[in-house]
Amino acid sequence: MWSFSNPVNIQFGEGVLSRLPELLDGQNYALLTYDEPWFSALADQVISQCGVPVAVLNQIVPNPDIKDLLPLCQQLSEMPVQPDVLVAIGGGSVIDTAKVVAAAGEDFDRVYQLLTQGKGREELVCTPIIAVPTTSGTGSEVTCWATVWDSAHERKYSLADPRLYPQVALCDPSLTHELPEFLTICTGLDALSHALESIWNKNNNPVSSTYAVDAARIILNVLPELAADLNNAALRSRMMEAALKAGLAFSNTKTSIAHNISYEVTLRRGTPHGIACSFTLPYVMRSVSGENSVCDQALKAIFGEDLAAGSDYLENWLKDLGIKVQPEDYQYDPADWQRLLTSALAGERGKNFIGQGEALLTSYAV
Protein backbone atom coordinates (compact mmCIF):
# COMPACT_ATOMS: atom_id res chain seq x y z
CA MET A 1 0.00 0.00 0.00
CA TRP A 2 1.21 3.50 -0.75
CA SER A 3 -0.09 7.02 -1.24
CA PHE A 4 1.14 10.20 -2.85
CA SER A 5 -0.18 13.69 -2.33
CA ASN A 6 0.99 17.21 -3.00
CA PRO A 7 -1.41 20.16 -2.80
CA VAL A 8 0.71 22.89 -4.46
CA ASN A 9 -0.80 24.69 -7.44
CA ILE A 10 2.17 24.74 -9.87
CA GLN A 11 2.32 27.35 -12.62
CA PHE A 12 5.37 27.08 -14.87
CA GLY A 13 6.88 29.02 -17.75
CA GLU A 14 8.86 32.05 -18.90
CA GLY A 15 7.05 35.15 -17.66
CA VAL A 16 4.65 33.30 -15.34
CA LEU A 17 5.53 35.76 -12.55
CA SER A 18 3.21 38.20 -14.37
CA ARG A 19 0.29 36.20 -12.93
CA LEU A 20 1.12 37.37 -9.41
CA PRO A 21 -1.25 40.40 -9.33
CA GLU A 22 -4.16 38.19 -10.39
CA LEU A 23 -3.27 35.58 -7.76
CA LEU A 24 -3.01 38.18 -5.01
CA ASP A 25 -6.30 39.71 -6.04
CA GLY A 26 -5.91 42.70 -3.74
CA GLN A 27 -4.96 40.74 -0.59
CA ASN A 28 -2.46 42.23 1.86
CA TYR A 29 0.91 40.66 1.21
CA ALA A 30 4.41 40.71 2.61
CA LEU A 31 7.29 40.39 0.19
CA LEU A 32 10.32 38.32 1.15
CA THR A 33 13.53 38.44 -0.85
CA TYR A 34 17.28 39.07 -0.54
CA ASP A 35 18.75 42.54 0.02
CA GLU A 36 20.73 42.45 -3.24
CA PRO A 37 20.50 44.88 -6.20
CA TRP A 38 19.01 42.43 -8.72
CA PHE A 39 16.35 41.31 -6.23
CA SER A 40 15.59 44.87 -5.07
CA ALA A 41 14.92 45.82 -8.71
CA LEU A 42 12.70 42.75 -9.10
CA ALA A 43 10.86 43.66 -5.87
CA ASP A 44 10.25 47.19 -7.22
CA GLN A 45 8.78 45.69 -10.37
CA VAL A 46 6.49 43.40 -8.35
CA ILE A 47 5.38 46.29 -6.14
CA SER A 48 4.55 48.44 -9.17
CA GLN A 49 2.31 45.63 -10.48
CA CYS A 50 0.80 44.30 -7.24
CA GLY A 51 0.59 47.39 -5.05
CA VAL A 52 2.51 48.26 -1.90
CA PRO A 53 3.05 45.28 0.44
CA VAL A 54 2.41 45.53 4.19
CA ALA A 55 6.10 44.69 4.67
CA VAL A 56 9.24 43.98 2.69
CA LEU A 57 11.37 41.46 4.59
CA ASN A 58 14.69 41.48 2.79
CA GLN A 59 17.24 40.77 5.50
CA ILE A 60 17.51 37.19 4.29
CA VAL A 61 20.89 35.50 4.01
CA PRO A 62 21.79 32.04 2.66
CA ASN A 63 21.10 29.20 5.12
CA PRO A 64 18.51 30.86 7.41
CA ASP A 65 19.73 30.74 10.97
CA ILE A 66 17.73 31.11 14.17
CA LYS A 67 19.62 34.30 14.96
CA ASP A 68 18.47 35.88 11.65
CA LEU A 69 14.86 34.70 11.81
CA LEU A 70 13.94 36.31 15.12
CA PRO A 71 14.43 39.93 13.84
CA LEU A 72 12.34 39.21 10.74
CA CYS A 73 9.36 38.20 12.86
CA GLN A 74 9.97 41.24 15.07
CA GLN A 75 9.89 43.45 11.97
CA LEU A 76 6.54 41.92 11.05
CA SER A 77 5.18 42.50 14.57
CA GLU A 78 5.81 46.24 14.14
CA MET A 79 3.56 46.44 11.07
CA PRO A 80 0.08 47.91 11.65
CA VAL A 81 -1.47 45.31 9.31
CA GLN A 82 -0.53 41.64 9.15
CA PRO A 83 -0.28 39.99 5.72
CA ASP A 84 -2.91 37.62 4.31
CA VAL A 85 -0.24 36.00 2.16
CA LEU A 86 3.57 35.86 1.93
CA VAL A 87 5.27 36.19 -1.44
CA ALA A 88 8.74 34.59 -1.36
CA ILE A 89 11.01 35.45 -4.30
CA GLY A 90 14.38 33.74 -4.07
CA GLY A 91 16.12 30.43 -3.57
CA GLY A 92 15.55 27.87 -0.83
CA SER A 93 16.76 30.26 1.84
CA VAL A 94 14.02 32.78 1.03
CA ILE A 95 11.26 30.21 0.60
CA ASP A 96 12.29 28.42 3.82
CA THR A 97 12.39 31.76 5.64
CA ALA A 98 8.88 32.43 4.37
CA LYS A 99 7.75 29.10 5.85
CA VAL A 100 9.21 30.05 9.23
CA VAL A 101 7.57 33.50 9.11
CA ALA A 102 4.31 31.92 7.90
CA ALA A 103 4.36 29.50 10.83
CA ALA A 104 5.48 32.01 13.45
CA GLY A 105 3.55 35.09 12.39
CA GLU A 106 4.87 38.04 14.37
CA ASP A 107 6.16 35.82 17.22
CA PHE A 108 9.23 33.71 16.40
CA ASP A 109 8.92 31.93 19.75
CA ARG A 110 6.08 29.80 18.32
CA VAL A 111 8.52 28.19 15.91
CA TYR A 112 11.43 28.17 18.36
CA GLN A 113 9.42 26.20 20.94
CA LEU A 114 8.33 23.68 18.34
CA LEU A 115 11.83 23.17 16.97
CA THR A 116 13.64 22.95 20.27
CA GLN A 117 10.99 21.39 22.56
CA GLY A 118 8.54 19.79 20.13
CA LYS A 119 5.75 21.87 21.70
CA GLY A 120 2.98 24.16 20.48
CA ARG A 121 2.20 22.98 16.95
CA GLU A 122 -1.39 24.14 17.46
CA GLU A 123 -0.09 27.70 18.01
CA LEU A 124 1.37 27.96 14.49
CA VAL A 125 -0.21 30.62 12.29
CA CYS A 126 0.59 29.18 8.81
CA THR A 127 -0.09 32.20 6.61
CA PRO A 128 -0.44 31.08 2.95
CA ILE A 129 2.69 31.36 0.78
CA ILE A 130 3.22 32.06 -2.90
CA ALA A 131 6.67 30.70 -3.70
CA VAL A 132 8.67 32.08 -6.62
CA PRO A 133 11.93 30.11 -6.88
CA THR A 134 14.96 31.82 -8.41
CA THR A 135 17.25 28.80 -8.15
CA SER A 136 16.70 25.36 -9.66
CA GLY A 137 17.60 23.27 -6.67
CA THR A 138 15.86 22.95 -3.35
CA GLY A 139 12.31 22.09 -4.46
CA SER A 140 11.14 24.08 -1.45
CA GLU A 141 8.36 25.50 -3.62
CA VAL A 142 6.63 22.10 -3.42
CA THR A 143 7.64 20.82 0.03
CA CYS A 144 6.12 21.48 3.44
CA TRP A 145 9.37 21.82 5.36
CA ALA A 146 12.03 24.41 5.96
CA THR A 147 15.64 23.92 6.97
CA VAL A 148 16.52 26.08 9.96
CA TRP A 149 20.17 26.33 10.95
CA ASP A 150 21.54 27.00 14.41
CA SER A 151 25.21 27.62 13.72
CA ALA A 152 25.91 28.73 17.30
CA HIS A 153 25.05 25.23 18.54
CA GLU A 154 26.10 23.35 15.36
CA ARG A 155 22.54 22.12 14.84
CA LYS A 156 20.12 21.89 11.97
CA TYR A 157 16.36 21.72 12.46
CA SER A 158 13.58 20.88 10.07
CA LEU A 159 10.34 22.77 10.48
CA ALA A 160 7.69 20.51 8.96
CA ASP A 161 3.94 20.89 8.79
CA PRO A 162 1.48 20.06 5.98
CA ARG A 163 0.03 23.59 6.32
CA LEU A 164 3.38 24.95 5.12
CA TYR A 165 3.08 23.68 1.56
CA PRO A 166 3.03 26.84 -0.55
CA GLN A 167 -0.40 27.57 -1.95
CA VAL A 168 1.09 28.38 -5.34
CA ALA A 169 4.53 27.81 -6.92
CA LEU A 170 5.21 30.29 -9.70
CA CYS A 171 8.13 28.70 -11.53
CA ASP A 172 9.53 31.21 -13.99
CA PRO A 173 12.81 29.95 -15.48
CA SER A 174 13.68 33.45 -16.75
CA LEU A 175 14.36 34.38 -13.09
CA THR A 176 17.34 32.00 -13.09
CA HIS A 177 19.06 33.49 -16.14
CA GLU A 178 21.50 35.51 -14.00
CA LEU A 179 22.44 32.65 -11.68
CA PRO A 180 26.26 32.37 -11.84
CA GLU A 181 28.01 29.13 -12.80
CA PHE A 182 28.94 27.98 -9.29
CA LEU A 183 25.41 28.53 -7.89
CA THR A 184 23.91 26.90 -10.98
CA ILE A 185 26.03 23.81 -10.32
CA CYS A 186 25.49 23.74 -6.53
CA THR A 187 21.74 24.08 -6.76
CA GLY A 188 21.50 21.60 -9.65
CA LEU A 189 23.43 19.05 -7.58
CA ASP A 190 21.03 19.57 -4.68
CA ALA A 191 18.16 18.68 -7.03
CA LEU A 192 20.02 15.58 -8.26
CA SER A 193 20.54 14.53 -4.67
CA HIS A 194 16.82 14.97 -3.91
CA ALA A 195 15.95 12.72 -6.85
CA LEU A 196 18.39 9.93 -5.95
CA GLU A 197 17.70 10.20 -2.22
CA SER A 198 14.00 9.67 -2.82
CA ILE A 199 14.83 6.44 -4.69
CA TRP A 200 17.05 4.73 -2.06
CA ASN A 201 14.42 5.62 0.46
CA LYS A 202 12.07 3.56 2.60
CA ASN A 203 9.23 5.93 1.64
CA ASN A 204 9.79 5.53 -2.11
CA ASN A 205 6.63 4.82 -4.10
CA PRO A 206 5.82 4.42 -7.82
CA VAL A 207 4.79 8.06 -8.28
CA SER A 208 7.75 9.58 -6.43
CA SER A 209 9.99 7.19 -8.36
CA THR A 210 8.62 8.36 -11.72
CA TYR A 211 9.35 11.97 -10.84
CA ALA A 212 12.78 11.09 -9.43
CA VAL A 213 13.94 9.06 -12.44
CA ASP A 214 12.82 11.75 -14.84
CA ALA A 215 14.47 14.51 -12.78
CA ALA A 216 17.79 12.65 -12.45
CA ARG A 217 17.95 11.87 -16.16
CA ILE A 218 17.34 15.50 -17.08
CA ILE A 219 19.93 16.80 -14.60
CA LEU A 220 22.64 14.34 -15.70
CA ASN A 221 22.15 15.47 -19.30
CA VAL A 222 21.45 19.15 -18.86
CA LEU A 223 23.60 20.41 -15.97
CA PRO A 224 27.04 20.00 -17.65
CA GLU A 225 25.68 21.56 -20.84
CA LEU A 226 24.12 24.44 -18.90
CA ALA A 227 27.32 25.05 -16.89
CA ALA A 228 29.07 25.64 -20.23
CA ASP A 229 26.22 27.70 -21.73
CA LEU A 230 24.67 29.73 -18.90
CA ASN A 231 22.62 31.95 -21.19
CA ASN A 232 20.74 29.07 -22.77
CA ALA A 233 17.09 29.70 -21.89
CA ALA A 234 15.92 26.24 -22.98
CA LEU A 235 18.45 24.55 -20.67
CA ARG A 236 17.50 26.88 -17.79
CA SER A 237 13.89 25.83 -18.26
CA ARG A 238 14.78 22.12 -18.29
CA MET A 239 16.76 22.53 -15.05
CA MET A 240 13.88 24.30 -13.33
CA GLU A 241 11.54 21.54 -14.44
CA ALA A 242 13.97 18.90 -13.14
CA ALA A 243 14.36 20.59 -9.75
CA LEU A 244 10.58 20.84 -9.48
CA LYS A 245 10.13 17.14 -10.29
CA ALA A 246 12.84 16.18 -7.81
CA GLY A 247 11.01 18.36 -5.28
CA LEU A 248 7.74 16.56 -5.96
CA ALA A 249 9.53 13.22 -5.55
CA PHE A 250 11.08 13.98 -2.18
CA SER A 251 8.06 15.97 -0.96
CA ASN A 252 6.57 12.52 -0.29
CA THR A 253 9.67 10.57 0.75
CA LYS A 254 11.94 13.11 2.49
CA THR A 255 15.66 12.81 1.86
CA SER A 256 18.04 10.13 3.07
CA ILE A 257 21.60 9.38 4.10
CA ALA A 258 23.49 11.77 1.77
CA HIS A 259 21.52 14.67 3.25
CA ASN A 260 22.04 13.46 6.80
CA ILE A 261 25.80 13.35 6.14
CA SER A 262 25.69 16.82 4.56
CA TYR A 263 24.38 18.73 7.56
CA GLU A 264 27.51 18.23 9.64
CA VAL A 265 29.74 18.96 6.62
CA THR A 266 27.94 22.27 6.06
CA LEU A 267 27.94 23.21 9.75
CA ARG A 268 31.59 22.27 10.39
CA ARG A 269 33.23 23.02 7.05
CA GLY A 270 30.93 25.67 5.55
CA THR A 271 30.47 23.54 2.41
CA PRO A 272 27.47 24.79 0.37
CA HIS A 273 24.42 22.55 0.74
CA GLY A 274 24.35 21.38 -2.90
CA ILE A 275 27.94 20.13 -2.74
CA ALA A 276 27.70 18.72 0.78
CA CYS A 277 24.66 16.60 -0.14
CA SER A 278 26.00 15.34 -3.48
CA PHE A 279 29.69 14.48 -3.17
CA THR A 280 28.81 11.23 -1.39
CA LEU A 281 26.22 10.08 -3.98
CA PRO A 282 28.53 7.68 -5.93
CA TYR A 283 29.53 5.89 -2.72
CA VAL A 284 25.97 5.71 -1.46
CA MET A 285 24.92 4.29 -4.84
CA ARG A 286 27.70 1.65 -4.77
CA SER A 287 26.63 0.60 -1.29
CA VAL A 288 22.92 0.28 -2.10
CA SER A 289 23.15 -1.38 -5.54
CA GLY A 290 21.83 -4.94 -5.40
CA GLU A 291 20.07 -4.40 -2.05
CA ASN A 292 16.52 -3.89 -3.27
CA SER A 293 15.00 -4.75 -6.64
CA VAL A 294 12.65 -1.74 -6.80
CA CYS A 295 15.51 0.63 -6.05
CA ASP A 296 17.78 -1.16 -8.56
CA GLN A 297 15.13 -0.88 -11.25
CA ALA A 298 14.83 2.89 -10.79
CA LEU A 299 18.62 3.35 -10.75
CA LYS A 300 18.93 1.23 -13.92
CA ALA A 301 16.35 3.47 -15.60
CA ILE A 302 18.75 6.34 -14.95
CA PHE A 303 22.20 4.80 -15.27
CA GLY A 304 21.72 1.68 -17.40
CA GLU A 305 21.88 -2.03 -16.52
CA ASP A 306 25.36 -2.04 -14.98
CA LEU A 307 25.01 -0.18 -11.67
CA ALA A 308 28.71 -0.53 -10.78
CA ALA A 309 29.55 1.25 -14.04
CA GLY A 310 26.74 3.72 -13.26
CA SER A 311 28.32 4.60 -9.90
CA ASP A 312 31.68 5.18 -11.62
CA TYR A 313 29.91 7.29 -14.25
CA LEU A 314 28.30 9.40 -11.51
CA GLU A 315 31.66 9.88 -9.78
CA ASN A 316 33.32 11.05 -13.02
CA TRP A 317 30.32 13.22 -13.87
CA LEU A 318 30.72 15.01 -10.52
CA LYS A 319 34.48 15.35 -10.96
CA ASP A 320 33.97 16.85 -14.43
CA LEU A 321 31.80 19.52 -12.76
CA GLY A 322 34.69 20.25 -10.40
CA ILE A 323 33.28 18.40 -7.38
CA LYS A 324 35.71 16.52 -5.16
CA VAL A 325 34.33 13.27 -3.84
CA GLN A 326 36.79 12.09 -1.19
CA PRO A 327 36.23 12.77 2.52
CA GLU A 328 39.85 14.07 2.74
CA ASP A 329 38.84 16.83 0.32
CA TYR A 330 36.48 18.02 3.07
CA GLN A 331 39.14 17.62 5.81
CA TYR A 332 37.85 14.33 7.19
CA ASP A 333 40.38 11.63 8.02
CA PRO A 334 39.19 7.99 7.76
CA ALA A 335 38.35 7.61 11.46
CA ASP A 336 36.46 10.88 11.61
CA TRP A 337 34.59 9.99 8.41
CA GLN A 338 33.51 6.62 9.77
CA ARG A 339 32.27 8.37 12.91
CA LEU A 340 30.27 10.84 10.81
CA LEU A 341 28.76 8.05 8.67
CA THR A 342 27.74 6.09 11.75
CA SER A 343 26.05 9.06 13.33
CA ALA A 344 24.37 10.08 10.03
CA LEU A 345 22.98 6.55 9.58
CA ALA A 346 21.35 6.86 13.00
CA GLY A 347 19.89 10.30 12.15
CA GLU A 348 16.29 10.94 11.09
CA ARG A 349 17.09 11.09 7.34
CA GLY A 350 19.69 8.31 7.64
CA LYS A 351 16.96 5.97 8.87
CA ASN A 352 15.13 6.48 5.55
CA PHE A 353 18.07 4.81 3.77
CA ILE A 354 17.11 1.50 2.20
CA GLY A 355 20.70 0.21 2.09
CA GLN A 356 22.86 -1.44 4.74
CA GLY A 357 24.88 0.88 6.92
CA GLU A 358 27.70 -1.65 6.99
CA ALA A 359 27.92 -1.63 3.18
CA LEU A 360 28.20 2.16 3.17
CA LEU A 361 30.96 2.09 5.79
CA THR A 362 32.76 -0.58 3.75
CA SER A 363 32.37 1.29 0.45
CA TYR A 364 34.55 4.01 1.94
CA ALA A 365 36.91 1.69 3.75
CA VAL A 366 38.14 -0.12 0.58
Ligand X SMILES: NC(=O)c1ccc[n+]([C@@H]2O[C@H](COP(=O)([O-])OP(=O)(O)OC[C@H]3O[C@@H](n4cnc5c(N)ncnc54)[C@H](O)[C@@H]3O)[C@@H](O)[C@H]2O)c1
Nearest residue to Fe ion on Cβ basis: 190
Least distance in angstroms from the C-beta of 146 to Fe ion: 12
Handedness of CA 174, 164, 98, 117 (dihedral sign): negative
Q: Is 90 helix (H, G, I), strand (E, B) or coil?
A: strand
- The residue ranges of DSSP E strands in 47-142, in sequence order, are 55-57, 85-90, 129-133
Pick between residue 242 and residue 307 the one whose CB is nearest to ligand X.
242
| Residue closest to 292 by CA, chosen among 217, 200, 212 | 200
Least distance in angstroms from the C-beta of 261 to Fe ion: 12
Site membership for Fe ion, residue 190 (CB under 5 A): yes
Site membership for Fe ion, residue 264 (CB under 5 A): no
- DSSP structure string for 240-302: HHHHHHHHHHHHTT---HHHHHHHHHHHHH---HHHHTTTTHHHHHHHHTTS-HHHHHHHHHH
Q: How far apart are CA 347 and CA 339, in angstroms?
A: 13
Least distance in angstroms from the C-beta of 315 to ligand X: 22
From 38-46, 222-230, 272-280, 305-313, give the range in contact with Fe ion by CB under 5 A: 272-280
97 interacts with, out of ligand X, Fe ion, none, CB within 5 to 8 A per kind: none
Q: What angle do CA 112, 342, 318 make, to 5 degrees?
A: 90
Least distance in angstroms from the C-beta of 182 to ligand X: 9
From 83-91, 109-117, 275-283, 296-304, give the range in contact with Fe ion by CB under 5 A: 275-283
Torsion angle in degrees (nearest 10) through CA of 150, 152, 153, 157: 0
Pick between residue 108 and residue 149 the one whose CB is nearest to Fe ion.
149
176 interacts with, out of ligand X, Fe ion, none, CB within 5 to 8 A per kind: ligand X
Pick between residue 110 and residue 254 the one whose CB is nearest to ligand X.
254
Catalog residues that contact ligand X under the rule CB under 6 A. Answer: 34, 36, 62-63, 90-94, 96, 134-135, 137-140, 143, 145-147, 175-176, 178-179, 183, 187, 190, 273-274
Do you know the residue count of the chain? 366
Strand pairing class (55-57; 9-12): unpaired
Least distance in angstroms from the C-beta of 277 to ligand X: 8
Report the DSSP beta bridge partners of residue 157.
Answer: 148
| Residue closest to 89 by CA, chosen among 202, 166, 7, 203 | 166
Q: How far apart are CA 105 and CA 207, in angstroms?
A: 34
209 interacts with, out of ligand X, Fe ion, none, CB within 5 to 8 A per kind: none
Pick between residue 189 and residue 288 the one whose CB is nearest to ligand X.
189
53 interacts with, out of Fe ion, ligand X, none, CB within 5 to 8 A per kind: none
Which residues in 205-221 are b (16+ Cβ under 10 Å) and which e?
bebbbbbbbbbbebbbe
135 interacts with, out of Fe ion, ligand X, none, CB within 5 to 8 A per kind: ligand X
Least distance in angstroms from the C-beta of 18 to ligand X: 17
Least distance in angstroms from the C-beta of 136 to ligand X: 8
244 interacts with, out of Fe ion, ligand X, none, CB within 5 to 8 A per kind: none
Dihedral pair phi/psi, residue 9, rounded to 5°:
-80, 110
Least distance in angstroms from the C-beta of 40 to ligand X: 11
Which residues bind to Fe ion, rule: CB under 5 A? Answer: 190, 277
